[in-house]
Amino acid sequence: MPYSQFTIPKVVEDFGLTLIESGAFLNATQTVTLSPYLEEFITKNLQLAIALNTEKARSELIICPVLLAIKETLPSISFFSGEEFNVDADLGLNGVCDYILSQSAEQLYVTAPVTMVVEAKKENLKGGLGQCIAEMVAAWKFNTERNSTISCIYGVVTTGTVWRFLKLQEQTVTIDLNEYPLPPINSILAKLTQMMFPQSMDTVR
């Protein structure tokens, strides 16, 4: 069963998860420097993406450039788009993920997934939460089976202009009930950077 078929009740029941609805758990406030090229690209194309208002336009003109900015800021990570991430077909943890950010420079294949990003379909952020949690569970299982030291998996559901954040630690999923707008760009970049390397926010400017 592909990740996209999971709802919140199903993923919670299937994997025995505890769900916590909370306020903000990412407290990044530092400035993340965006390259002039990416800043200009996102700024110029933001209104175009909104005007076109298709998932493809929002993906190509907003979401992907924002995630590429994180890759540019943190060159030691890897970025995957439209990647098959088949972890356990018997559990339904298989299918294509919209985006994966991995805590490894290896770019040919996924080795240490940390952040799973889901594009909200039809601008329905809540509808993407089940899929995102399932992908996070898959990433946790993937890392655990490889004796990874990664202790937290993060999730993002976004329309490009609105972003929601989640985290998974063992059997507990925390969902930030706030919705974060873009623009401002830097606020989203700071949160994504903190997800990848919490300690990096001490040095990234």
Question: Which pLDDT score, from 0 to 100, does residue 122 have?
Answer: 87
Residue by residue, pLDDT tens for the chain (205 residues) are 799 999 999 999 999 999 999 999 998 777 787 888 888 899 899 999 999 999 999 999 999 999 999 999 899 999 999 999 999 999 999 999 999 999 999 999 999 999 999 999 988 999 999 999 999 999 999 999 999 889 999 999 999 999 999 999 999 999 999 999 999 898 999 999 999 976 544 434 3
Q: Which of 105, 102, 45 is nearest to 75 (CA)?
A: 105
Question: Which pLDDT score, from 0 to 100, does residue 205 have?
Answer: 37
Instruction: In whole angstroms, give the CA distance from residue 175 to residue 202.
Output: 25
For residue 81, tell me if it sits in a domain: yes
Count how many domains the chain has. Answer: 1
For residue 144, tell me if it sits in a domain: yes
For residue 23, tell me if it sits in a domain: yes
Instruction: In whole angstroms, give the CA distance from residue 136 to residue 164.
Output: 14
Range of the domain at 45: 3-199
Residues 6 or more apart whose CB falls under 8 angstroms from that of 155 comprise 115, 116, 117, 118, 132, 133, 135, 136, 165, 166, 167, 168
Structure-block tokens of residue 72: 């540019």
Residues 6 or more apart whose CB falls under 8 angstroms from that of 125 comprise 157, 158, 159, 162, 164, 179
For residue 204, tell me if it sits in a domain: no
For residue 205, tell me if it sits in a domain: no
CA 1 to chain CA centroid, Å, is 21
Going from the C-alpha of 137 to that of each of 50, 67, 116, 123, 186, the distances in angstroms are 32, 21, 10, 23, 28
Structure-block tokens of residue 70: 């994180």
- pLDDT tens for residues 108-143? 999 999 999 999 998 899 999 999 999 999 999 999
Question: Which pLDDT score, from 0 to 100, does residue 203 have?
Answer: 38
For residue 56, tell me if it sits in a domain: yes
Question: Which pLDDT score, from 0 to 100, does residue 198 have?
Answer: 65
For residue 95, what is the domain's CATH number? 3.90.1570
**Global pTM value:** 0.93
For residue 85, tell me if it sits in a domain: yes
